[in-house]
Amino acid sequence: MDPSVLLADAAENLYPARMQMALSLGWHIVFACFGVAFPLITVVAEWLGHRRGDAALAGLAHTWAKAMGVLFAAGAVSGTLLSFEMGILWPGLMDRFGEVYGFPFVLEGFAFFIEAIFVGVYLFGWDRLSPRAHMLSAVPMIISGMAGAFFVVAANAWMNNPTGFGLDEEARVVDAQPWAAMFGPSTWPQVVHMLLAAYMVTGFTIASVYAVGMLRGRRDHRHRAGLLLPLALAAALTPVQIGVGDWIANTVADNQPVKLAAMEAQYETTAGASLSLGGVYVDDELRYALEIPNGLSLLIHHDPDGVVQGLEEVPADERPPVNVVHLAYNAMVGLGTALLLLAGWLGWVWWRRRRIPGTPWFLRAVAVSGVAAVVAMEAGWITTEVGRQPWTVYGILRTADAVSPAPGLYLGFYAVVVVYVLLTVLTVVVLRRLAHSSTTPAPQERDAPPPDRDAGEVALR
């Protein structure tokens, strides 16, 4: 084919390909969070249920296990599409750098495999294994969920801070070192931040389901326990998450100063830079923002007069879309702070009175905390991914050079939108059904009736 036609196709593909990637990842990550964090929360409920002989807790654990099965299935199918998309949409990335950073995905494959196996064992073995064996079968799930998150996020951290290879004069990869590539400077902060985010998202979301129930007047023991257990975990992690947020922000400042400048909408390189909240960035200037003098320098360098680099340091075509990054970043930090206040409220009342705060306002706050945590997490990813633009591999490979030039590729985006809308509706229907009737089977369960003559009708009733 004529090369100019190919390039035209690539330009046509770029925007929809980015949107498609963002949609698929943004969808998958919500379910991935539950895949990472739900097993631990469920097994803790199961363990407490056994230890205290508390039927409500045991019942909660069983319902949660089923919900976990549903969410896991949704996560697994959406993840499959992702592995295709990595190559279909970004061949320029995989072709050149697959040997450098593809490796964590291989390890991730093993982690998912183990997780998928033990989700099956855990759900299937609910009444079939001894309580001890059953709870032990959750351990591989918990570990492999975390390990899987480590590996994928390590791959993403490599895109932010590529290490572990050399380039020859023609910019071809030489001397790829996959182990080194997996442990670049961004890996640990990103992984820890993501794992905490997964636990926060899961904890706050489950708690918010029971908060809604309590607001509707169902204040029984089951609802209280269903609220308190996940909420306590998420609330305990929130301050840690904010500390880790500081760590990750410092890593970004050191390694990706342009991204940091976009996060703060900072045009000029300044000493004693102020921290700006909100506002709109037009013509290289941030307007209508709330400024905290010297705040940014203090946060980044832990010194009020530290020098913070601005966007002016790089040519205009190497700057990310500032407004998206800045607002997403502010949204994450703002919501993180709000969740911290909620956690503080719970902690204070618990410390003084050993009970959950009694006012309906507390329940209302918990009811929205799940959404808040999900939005904070999505906003964090938008900060990371859009802030990396125009680079796919920071400073080395432009997104425009990574995209596939295949004709008609952009049509896939519309199809993906339709598929995800349907999938979302379906998942919500099934989860609601699960919430209303605890005998609803989960996808991995095998408790359909036996194949006697009228099994077909039984199954249909």
Interacting residues with ligand HDD (CB under 6 A)? 153, 160, 186, 190, 193-194, 197, 200-201, 241-242, 245-246, 248-249, 252, 259, 332-333, 336-337, 339, 373, 376-377, 380-381, 383-384, 387
Asked if 4 touches another protein (CB under 8 A), the answer is no
Touching another protein, residues 106-125 (CB under 8 A): 106-110, 112-114, 116-121, 123-125
Asked if 336 touches ligand HEM (CB under 6 A), the answer is no
Q: Which of 174, 316, 317, 351 forms a contact with another protein (CB under 8 A)?
A: 174
Asked if 236 touches ligand HEM (CB under 6 A), the answer is no
Amino acid, single-letter form, for residue 78: S
DSSP string, 186-216: THHHHHHHHHHHHHHHHHHHHHHHHHHHHHT
- Nearest distance from residue 37's CB to another protein, in Å? 19
Asked if 430 touches another protein (CB under 8 A), the answer is yes
State phi, psi for 270 to the nearest 5 degrees. Answer: -135, 145
**Nearest of 292, 300, 289 to residue 322 by alpha carbon:** 289
- Number of residues engaging ligand HEM in binding (CB under 6 A): 42
> Following CA atoms 325, 185, 317, 326 in sequence, which dihedral angle do they give, to the nearest 10 degrees?
10
With contact defined as beta carbons under 8 Å apart, do 290 and 298 qualify? no
Token readout for 251 is 């890593």
Q: Which is nearer to another protein, 357 or 407 (CB)?
A: 407
Touching ligand HEM, residues 88-147 (CB under 6 A): 90, 93, 112, 115-116, 145
Asked if 12 touches another protein (CB under 8 A), the answer is no
Touching another protein, residues 37-96 (CB under 8 A): 55-56, 58-59, 62-63, 69-70, 72-74, 76-81, 83-84, 86-88, 91-92, 94-96
Touching another protein, residues 137-156 (CB under 8 A): 140
Asked if 419 touches another protein (CB under 8 A), the answer is yes
CB neighbours of residue 433 within 10 Å? 11
Asked if 19 touches another protein (CB under 8 A), the answer is no
**Residue with tokens 């400042």, as numbered in its chain:** 253
b/e map of 322-344 (b: 16 or more CB within 10 Å)? Answer: bbbbbbbbbbbbbbbebbeebbe
The partner in contact with residue 186, picked from another protein, ligand HDD, ligand HEM, none with C-beta cut-offs of 5 to 8 angstroms by kind, is ligand HDD
Touching another protein, residues 203-222 (CB under 8 A): 222
**Residue with tokens 């590539």, as numbered in its chain:** 181
Token readout for 17 is 């390909």
**What Cα–Cα distance (Å) separates residue 231 from each residue in 39, 193, 254?**
15, 18, 34
CA–CA gap between residue 96 and residue 115 (Å, rounded): 30
CA–CA gap between residue 212 and residue 206 (Å, rounded): 10
Q: Which is nearer to ligand HEM, 150 or 345 (CB)?
A: 150
User: What one-character DSSP code corresponds to residue 145?
Assistant: H
Interface positions with ligand HEM (CB under 6 A): 18, 21-22, 25-26, 28-29, 31-32, 35-36, 72, 75-76, 79-80, 82-83, 86, 90, 93, 112, 115-116, 145, 148-149, 152-153, 155-156, 194, 378, 381-382, 385-386, 388-389, 392, 399, 402
